[in-house]
């Protein structure tokens, strides 16, 4: 919906922006050399020099590359396990490669790669570990045909106690930069940043914190060394105590690491919720936070990070099941440079699932903290969403579960043109009694569609339906508009609902490989 003075989704501000010598040749003349031989020699040198210096013929093949399937993929699940005997964690992996041939999947502890908890070979595609007992990071490794499109996730449930709640996160590939929008260090809030290095070489990391008033000075978080196959955990409440809301930027200067951020909130002995803060996209002028959960009372806090030196003028669009609108007061939010702004969307969402589209005058990134109150107790639960990129290919959703107490939904948002996706169920090896078939889901332009997982199961729920290896593959169809997706898991017990949201990110399936040809028959070069 548009109106006077409103910009179209995706529009941008029209403000002006600030504006050797060549090698020497040594000559020796033999006493017996004649003038003719010298001329011949000079002519030969000129011809040779011309042949070497002349540019090679322009040929598309000289710069050609080809896409080849990924042969090895590594993902890190930051901290499975938890406190108390009632805590359980499911860790699952799923490959969406579509590549035939042999492959393997292993899930092992960071410090014990040669003693995996799961080892599967052949065309595996799906594997999982249920009810992890040991705490500490796990490493998921895919080889051969199971490496392209590999995704993994962990979901931890604690039904009672001060850490009551459900927390889910994607297991991430090691990288060189991460943004997190969410967490804090006020009284009763404990946020932990996990830096995991699964490689055999040390990594060096810089961590920058942002608050409502701007960047926070933390000299001890610069040039941190994370040793080989080790994990460092930073307590944000010790680094920056008393800060109500935080954003975190992780930059790796040497090597690669996997970063993850966990938030726990309590009020005395009353649990206020737990969740992982998903990694957000790098700052841009247009960003989308999909899958803001509805249901229940409580705030939906949109948090906007402006990491640059210029304040942002941000326009907020809410994409619901029926339309896209900008509520009065959200047409122009000014967020100071270097700070983390916040606005409550609850009175505009009316308890519905929505996606949030932001257009900004300068690059920003964003997330949403949702708090759900219980109808039967003083407990509350939290769920973090984050700005992510649209799906770009087959995207696995591992670890699906559905029962009388657990509900899983897909939230699909199309902020521009309408979208169409194919959702393909994938059952773990050995599962029987299920009738699974792909389903095409249409998402009308500028809407958010909620899809119940029940839709994909038409047979009996037997043979390990709730096993963590079960999954889905979500694939945008040709001609589809951009589509953003999340998985929402809701668990319910006597104390009320517990919820977590995991944004879907399309994993890498191919890498570019240059082609080689011979140049002047003198050695290897580019060829087709």
Please give the order of strands across the beta sheet that includes 471-476.
Answer: 395-398, 471-476, 419-426, 439-443
Q: Which pLDDT band, with edges at 50, 70 and 90, does 4 fall under?
A: very low
Is the predicted pLDDT of residue 11 greater than 60, yes or no?
no
Is the predicted pLDDT of residue 5 greater than 90, yes or no?
no
Secondary structure class of 103 (helix, strand, coil): strand
Using CA atoms, how far apart are residues 205 and 305, in angstroms rounded to an integer?
21
Q: Which of 70-84, 171-185, 479-493 has the lowest mean pLDDT?
A: 70-84
Q: What is the pLDDT of residues 129-138, one digit of tens each?
A: 766 655 689 9
Question: Phi and psi at residue 454, in whole multiples of 5°?
Answer: -50, -25
Using CA atoms, how far apart are residues 167 and 111, in angstroms rounded to an integer?
24
Question: Phi and psi at residue 170, in whole multiples of 5°?
Answer: -75, 145
Pairing of β 279-280 and β 177-181: antiparallel
Using CA atoms, how far apart are residues 380 and 270, in angstroms rounded to an integer?
9
Using CA atoms, how far apart are residues 128 and 453, in angstroms rounded to an integer?
19
Which pLDDT score, from 0 to 100, does residue 196 have?
98
- Residue range 434-461: mean pLDDT, rounded: 79
Which pLDDT score, from 0 to 100, does residue 319 have?
96
- Residue range 56-82: mean pLDDT, rounded: 73
pTM for this model (two decimals): 0.83
Q: Which of 186-200, 299-313, 422-436, 499-513 has the lowest mean pLDDT?
A: 422-436
For the chain, the helix, strand and coil percentages under 3-state DSSP, each to the nearest 5: 5, 50, 45
What percent of the chain has pLDDT above 70?
A: 76
Using CA atoms, how far apart are residues 449 and 249, in angstroms rounded to an integer?
31
Q: Which pLDDT band, with edges at 50, 70 and 90, does 428 fall under?
A: low
Q: What is the pLDDT of residues 41-59, one digit of tens each?
A: 444 444 444 444 444 444 4
């Amino acid at each position: 919906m548009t109106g006077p003075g409103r910009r179209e989704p995706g529009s941008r501000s029209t403000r002006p922006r600030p504006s050797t010598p060549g090698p020497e040749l040594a000559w020796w003349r033999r006493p017996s050399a004649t003038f003719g031989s010298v001329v011949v020699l000079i002519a030969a040198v000129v011809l040779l020099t011309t042949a070497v210096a002349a540019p090679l013929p322009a040929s598309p093949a000289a710069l050609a590359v080809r896409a080849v399937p990924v042969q090895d993929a590594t993902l890190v699940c930051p901290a499975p396990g938890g406190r108390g005997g009632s805590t359980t964690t499911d860790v699952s992996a799923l490959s969406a490669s579509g590549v035939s041939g042999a492959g393997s999947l292993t899930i092992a502890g960071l410090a014990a790669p040669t003693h995996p908890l799961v080892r599967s070979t052949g065309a595996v595609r799906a594997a999982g570990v249920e009810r992890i007992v040991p705490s500490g990071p796990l490493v998921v490794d895919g080889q051969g045909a199971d490496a392209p499109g590999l995704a993994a996730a962990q979901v931890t449930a604690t039904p009672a106690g001060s850490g009551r709640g459900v927390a889910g996160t994607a297991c991430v590939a090691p990288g060189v930069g991460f943004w997190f929008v969410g967490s804090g260090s006020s009284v009763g809030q404990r946020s932990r940043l996990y830096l995991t290095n699964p490689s055999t070489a040390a990594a060096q990391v810089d961590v920058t914190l942002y608050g409502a008033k701007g960047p926070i000075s933390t000299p001890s978080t610069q040039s941190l060394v994370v040793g080989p196959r080790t994990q460092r955990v930073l307590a944000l409440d010790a680094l920056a105590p008393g800060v109500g809301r935080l954003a975190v930027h992780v930059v790796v200067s040497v090597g690669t690491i996997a970063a993850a951020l966990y938030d726990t909130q309590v009020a005395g002995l009353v649990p206020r919720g737990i969740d992982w803060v998903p990694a957000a996209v790098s700052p841009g002028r247009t960003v989308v936070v999909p899958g803001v959960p509805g249901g229940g009372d409580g705030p939906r806090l949109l948090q906007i990070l402006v990491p640059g030196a210029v304040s942002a003028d941000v326009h907020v669009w809410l994409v619901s099941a029926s339309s896209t609108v900008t509520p009065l007061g959200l047409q122009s939010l000014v967020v100071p440079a270097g700070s983390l702004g916040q606005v409550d969307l609850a009175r505009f969402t009316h308890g519905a699932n929505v996606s949030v589209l932001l257009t900004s005058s300068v690059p920003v990134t964003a997330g949403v903290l949702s708090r759900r109150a219980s109808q039967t107790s003083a407990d509350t639960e939290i769920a973090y969403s984050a700005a992510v990129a649209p799906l770009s290919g087959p995207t696995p959703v591992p670890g699906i579960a559905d029962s009388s107490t657990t509900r899983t939904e897909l939230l699909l948002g199309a902020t521009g043109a309408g979208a169409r996706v194919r959702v393909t169920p994938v059952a773990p090896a050995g599962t029987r009694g299920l009738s699974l078939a792909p389903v095409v889901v249409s998402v009308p332009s500028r809407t958010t569609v909620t899809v119940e997982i029940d839709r994909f199961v038409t047979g009996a729920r037997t043979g390990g339906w709730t096993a963590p290896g079960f999954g889905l593959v979500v694939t945008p169809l040709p001609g589809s508009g951009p589509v953003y997706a999340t998985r929402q898991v809701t668990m319910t017990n006597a104390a009320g609902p517990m919820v977590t949201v995991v944004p879907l990110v399309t994993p890498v399936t191919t890498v570019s490989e240059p082609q080689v040809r011979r140049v002047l028959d003198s050695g290897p070069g580019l060829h087709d």
